[in-house]
Amino acid sequence: MKVSVPNLGNTALAAKALFDSLKIDYIFPEETSTRTLEIGCKYSPEEICLPFKIMIGNYVEAMEKGADTFVITGSCGPCRYGEYCELQINILKKLNPKANLIVIDSPGDIGKDELIKRIKLISDNSPLSKSEKIKAVYNALKVINAVDELEKSLRFKAGYELQRGQCKKLLYSLKKALKDAEHTKEMLDLLKYYKKVVNDIPVDKNRHPIKIAIIGEIYTIIEPFSNLYIEDKLMDLGVSTIRSLYPSWWVKNMLMSPLKLQSLDIRIASREYLPHYIGGHGRECIGEAVLSQRQGCDGAIQIFPFGCMPEIVSKSILPRISRDKDFPIMTLVVDELTGEAGYVTRIEAFIDLLERRNRRCII
């Protein structure tokens, strides 16, 4: 069995840490490219949303490298993501009869026994003892938390850095080093080392860069290819970006949800505008728009794939938040046909607008 996961920000790194220490063969997913998307579009239903297509592309590229088992998470909210597995199994079986898709779903939907059975499908391939397996999961969590934390602070520091482009360079060298690391121990050491480096980046604290919050659908804001590397583009423009939806956030949110303690701040902030969970991350999007305004961001950019149902609801609410709080919010809809030039123009125009707002005469 050779396991692989679809790309989703830094999760591929965490999966590498997990499967390496479990001593299970793991294929690191190829970085998503135009080719991935082309393959994905070829095999996917026409009307499905962008994440599905990219995921199919990831599967095919991993299969070319020999992977045969894929692990994804499920959901049972009313958003389409929960139905992905059904269609993806059909597509995978057609492409490769030996392929296997393991869906880690919530126990409320499939039952506890079924969940344990599915986890066993993976863990039985590992020669380690139970305690060592738990240790491996713990290490993977440590990796994802540390990577996300580093990425978060680098993206924020990009606006303050003295040497232009340093943060971006560091971020990429970090990801490359982690990808090439041979075992989990090395990854953890690397993370420790990079933490020190990131803390020591020379910054100009007197600068007032533009700060933008990235909100919207979780896949399209986490996976950089699907949003045409918007955060990197903003880094190049000397803009600090803030985003709270990281894979580590998702893990924490999922673990806290049985106790109903998940993302309390978001729930309180969104209560005025959207008091119910509507599936996907629609409510988080609203909550974050409100929170980012409070935290002193200059504006927010909402990104979602074409046809995303929960985000359409939040898109209709955002103009009111924008009016009430005098807070510019731009919505970008991405799909496989998004052209880069028009996209960049809109981002640049938005940044110009924010800059002028800061410079306006108050008297």
Partner 1 sequence: MVVGIPKGLLYWKYGFGIEAFLKELGVEYIISPDTNRDILDRGVNTCVDDACLPVKIFHGHVHWLKDKCDLIITPRIMKVAHREFICPKFCGLIEMLKNSIEGLPAITEAPANMDTREDILRWLMSVGKLLNCNRREIINAYKKSLHFFENDAVGYNDLNYPLKVAIIGHPYNIYDSYLNMNLKIKLNKLGVGVITEENLQREEIEEKIKRLYKKPFWNFAKNSYGAAVSFYEKRAVDGIIYISSFACGIDSVVTELIKEVVDDFPFMVLKIDEHTGDAGMDTRIEAFCDMLERRVSYESKCSQFGEYSISCKGII
Residue 121 near partner 1 by CB under 8 A: no
Q: Closer to partner 1 by CB, 136 or 274: give it.
A: 274
How near is the Cβ of 302 to partner 1 at its closest, in Å?
12
Among 9, 40, 57, 74, binds partner 1 (CB under 8 A): 74
Q: Closer to partner 1 by CB, 248 or 314: give it.
A: 314
How near is the Cβ of 278 to partner 1 at its closest, in Å?
4
Contacts of 186 (CB under 8 A, 6+ apart): none
Q: Closer to partner 1 by CB, 82 or 159: give it.
A: 82
Helix (H, G, I), strand (E, B) or coil at 210: coil
Residue 79 near partner 1 by CB under 8 A: yes
Q: Closer to partner 1 by CB, 263 or 270: give it.
A: 270
Stretch that binds partner 1, among 29-37, 168-176, 195-203, 268-276 (CB under 8 A): 268-276
161 in Cβ contact with 167 (< 8 Å): yes
Q: What angle do CA 124, 125, 128 make, to 5 degrees?
A: 80
**177-180 long-range contacts, CB within 8 A, separation 24+:** 178/13, 178/16, 178/143, 178/147, 179/13, 179/16, 179/28
Residues 280-319 that bind partner 1 (CB under 8 A): 280, 282, 306-310, 312-317, 319
How many Å apart are CA 158 and CA 237, to the nearest integer? 9
Residue 85 near partner 1 by CB under 8 A: yes
Q: Closer to partner 1 by CB, 45 or 66: give it.
A: 45
Both structure tokens of 246: 């990281």
| Residues touching partner 1, count (CB under 8 A) | 44
Among 169, 320, 325, 357, binds partner 1 (CB under 8 A): 320
Residues 129-168 that bind partner 1 (CB under 8 A): none
Residue 103 near partner 1 by CB under 8 A: yes
Q: Closer to partner 1 by CB, 53 or 233: give it.
A: 53
Stretch that binds partner 1, among 13-21, 43-51, 184-192, 249-257 (CB under 8 A): 43-51
Among 57, 247, 279, 299, binds partner 1 (CB under 8 A): 279
How many Å apart are CA 331 and CA 236, to the nearest integer? 21
Q: What angle do CA 258, 74, 284 make, to 5 degrees?
A: 60
Q: Where would I find the H helices in 124-183?
A: 130-157, 166-180
Both structure tokens of 82: 């929960």
* 242 bridge partner residues: 213
In the shown chain, the binding pattern of residues 226 to 265 toward partner 1, with x for contact by CB under 8 A and - for none, equals ----------------------------------------
Give the CA dihedral 321, 327, 333, 338, nearest 10 degrees: 170
Among 34, 65, 78, 116, binds partner 1 (CB under 8 A): 78
Taking Cα atoms as reference points, which of 73, 70, 76, 72 lies closest to residue 92? 70
How many Å apart are CA 88 and CA 84, to the nearest integer? 6
Q: Closer to partner 1 by CB, 25 or 83: give it.
A: 83
Tell me the longest C-alpha to C-alpha distance in the chain.
Answer: 72
**189-194 long-range contacts, CB within 8 A, separation 24+:** 191/143, 191/146, 191/147, 191/150, 194/150, 194/170
Residue 217 near partner 1 by CB under 8 A: no
What are the phi and psi torsion angles at 2 (to 5°)?
Answer: -120, 120
Residues that bind partner 1 (CB under 8 A): 45-49, 74, 76-80, 82-83, 85-87, 89-90, 103, 105, 109-110, 273-274, 276-280, 282, 306-310, 312-317, 319-320, 333
